[in-house]
Amino acid sequence: MKYRPTPLNILSTILIGWTLWTYNPKSETMGWGEFAVIVFIGFGVLGLIIDFGIQRISKSYFKTIGTEIILIFVVGLIYSYSQRTKTLIISDSPTSNYIVTVYGVNEKPKLTDKFLPWSYEVKVPANGILLTSSAFWTDLPETKMVSYSGTELNTDESDWGWIRFSEDEFDCNGQTFKYRSWMINKEFCCGYSNKDVDSLKVRLQRQLCDELMPSR
């Protein structure tokens, strides 16, 4: 077998070289930097191993190139799909430290009318609780938060930061509602305990059950 340059081994070599070239061990984010170096070099080495296996099995150089182009495209598509992002537009002066989306609520708007959306924006009420008829599993995996005035949270432009908080469910008169929540805070963000998670669940149940399941 004659080992030849291919799309996969070229990309893998560039990834390893770029990672080593840009890594700064004296960086203030040294811990994260070392982890990133391990991950990126690991992906690069994995790519070289896969490329070696493909070249060894394939009898045609052009088939090798075609196979690797398809493989790179599929991996890129899967990664892009996992990065689909929703933008939650929240109040400039939140009255709560939590942003919550409650799913599966009858007669409430959908999060988006797009078919297989890659992104969407939705305005969250001033109280921080968004009720939607969309199902929990249909929501996009990544999140971005922007204030009503257009300032993005978790950036130098904003004093506010946020983190993922909890995913859970609560019952109202025998019907179960799933929800996803984020914690927001000004200046220092964000620390919490299991007690905070349980407290939010109880608060949502008490606050929303009358609205979600009105007495008949």
29: pLDDT strictly greater than 70: no
Q: What does the pLDDT look like over 184-214, one tens digit per residue?
A: 998 767 888 999 999 999 999 998 988 776 6
25: pLDDT strictly greater than 70: no
What pLDDT score was predicted for residue 216?
A: 45
87-110 burial by CB neighbour count: b if 16+ within 10 A, else e?
Answer: bbebbeebebbbbbbbbbbeeeee
Q: What does the pLDDT look like over 110-156, one tens digit per residue?
A: 999 988 899 999 999 999 999 999 999 999 999 999 999 999 998 88
What pLDDT score was predicted for residue 184?
A: 94
Q: Which residue has the higher pLDDT, 68 or 216?
A: 68
Is residue 2 packed enough to be buried (19+ CB in 10 Å), middle (13-18) or exposed (0-12)?
exposed
24: pLDDT strictly greater than 80: no
What pLDDT score was predicted for residue 20?
A: 87
Q: What does the pLDDT look like over 40-66, one tens digit per residue?
A: 999 999 999 999 999 999 989 999 999
What pLDDT score was predicted for residue 205?
A: 92
Q: What does the pLDDT look like over 67-109, one tens digit per residue?
A: 999 999 999 999 999 999 999 999 998 889 999 999 999 999 9
Mean pLDDT for 28-43 is 74
164: pLDDT strictly greater than 70: yes
